[in-house]
């Protein structure tokens, strides 16, 4: 069966520090991969999606970037975090609908 | 911008009652999905209804879709305390890569 792992579960970082969140999927090949951000009490905003290794599409301009170095690995990064980057970050995979989500990373910026 | 808007934003009911949540969207869709999110966790897919379907059932869940009104409803019958969660609709407008747009969610509290 397919599983998705996302870590860390929580992260507290100072403003201006770098960020790296990792997501891996097991049990499927060539999935579409997605990074979302969820503000407190709100819906999900799609940040990036990827249809293959090295293929990244950005949905909104922001301080973040994404990479897909391997078929089932999706990384969310930032060189310098801003206060506005705080939130709950969710990784998801899908080949056909629906999407399957990881347990998320709660990112707090101090 | 958000495609789906759920209402109500919050709903509190007694265990055993039915819970109904509504979702409205703006553009034509290929399908509409409902997800559930327990506090601090990822989303779990509940049910998908295609644009040519009007109603779908899964256990205690019943979803309807009215494409003429661009709206959907999720009914949870005989609610349980364990149904307490946030519920989101998500629409696939066919833009490719199975991208979906999520609504703002309904927070359901079921009181034992």
Alpha-carbon span A100 to B61, nearest angstrom: 19
Residue B93: per-residue pLDDT:
82
Separation of alpha carbons B30 and A24, rounded Å: 28
Q: For a pLDDT cut of 70, what percent of chain A falls above it? A: 100
Instruction: Return the CATH number at B55.
Output: 2.60.40.10
- Collapsing DSSP to helix, strand or coil, B46 comes out as strand
Q: What is the DSSP letter of A40?
A: T
User: Cβ of A43 and B41 within 8 Å?
Assistant: no
Q: Interior CA angle at B45 toward B42 and B49, to 5°?
A: 150
Whether pLDDT at A85 is above 90: yes
| Tokens linked to B36 | 């559930």
Residue A21 in this model has a pLDDT that exceeds 70: yes
pLDDT given at position B32: 94
Of B4, B100, B107, the CB nearest to A99: B100
Q: Which of B10, B36, B102, B109 best tests the A interface by mutation, with the highest count of A CBs <10 A?
A: B102
> Which three-class secondary structure state does DSSP give residue B83?
helix
Domain ranges, residue B17: 5-111
Quote the number of domains for chain B.
1
Structure confidence at residue B95 (pLDDT): 67
Q: With contacts defined as CB-CB under 8 Å, which chain B residues touch A57?
A: 97
**Neighbour count for residue A41 (Cβ, 10 Å):** 11
Handedness of CA A84, B99, B90, B80 (dihedral sign): negative
Splitting chain B (112 residues) into consecutive groups of 10 residues, what average pLDDT does each group show? 74 97 93 94 95 97 97 98 96 79 94 96
Across the A/B interface, how many CB contacts are shorter than 8 Å?
57
In this predicted structure, what is the pLDDT of residue B7? 87
CA distance B16 to chain A (A): 26
Mean pLDDT of chain A: 93
pLDDT (0 to 100) of residue B1: 41
Sorted by sequence, the CB contacts under 8 Å of residue B66 that are 6+ apart come out as B54, B72
| Residue A2 predicted with pLDDT over 90 | no
Domains, chain A, ordered by start: 3-109 (2.60.40.10)
């Amino acid at each position: 069966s397919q599983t998705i792992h996302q870590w860390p579960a929580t992260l507290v970082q100072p403003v201006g520090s770098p960020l790296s969140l990792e997501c891996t999927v097991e049990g499927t090949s060539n999935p579409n991969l997605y990074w979302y951000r969820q503000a407190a009490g709100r819906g999900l905003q799609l940040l990036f999606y990827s249809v293959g290794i090295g293929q990244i599409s950005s949905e909104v301009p922001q301080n973040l970037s994404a990479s897909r170095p391997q078929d089932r690995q999706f990384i969310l990064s930032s060189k310098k975090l801003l206060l506005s980057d705080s939130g709950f970050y969710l990784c998801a995979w899908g080949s056909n609908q629906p999407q399957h989500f990881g347990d998320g990373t709660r990112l707090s910026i101090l | 911008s958000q495609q789906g808007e759920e209402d109500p934003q919050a709903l509190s009911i007694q265990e055993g009652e039915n819970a109904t949540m509504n979702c409205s969207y703006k553009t034509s869709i290929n399908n509409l999905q409902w997800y559930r999110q327990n506090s601090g966790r990822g989303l779990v897919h509940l049910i998908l209804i295609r644009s040519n379907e009007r109603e779908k059932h899964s256990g205690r869940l019943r979803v309807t879709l009215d494409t003429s009104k661009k709206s959907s409803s999720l009914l949870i019958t005989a609610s349980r305390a364990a149904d307490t969660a946030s519920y989101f609709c998500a629409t696939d407008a066919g833009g490719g890569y199975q991208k979906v747009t999520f609504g703002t969610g309904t927070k359901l509290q079921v009181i034992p």
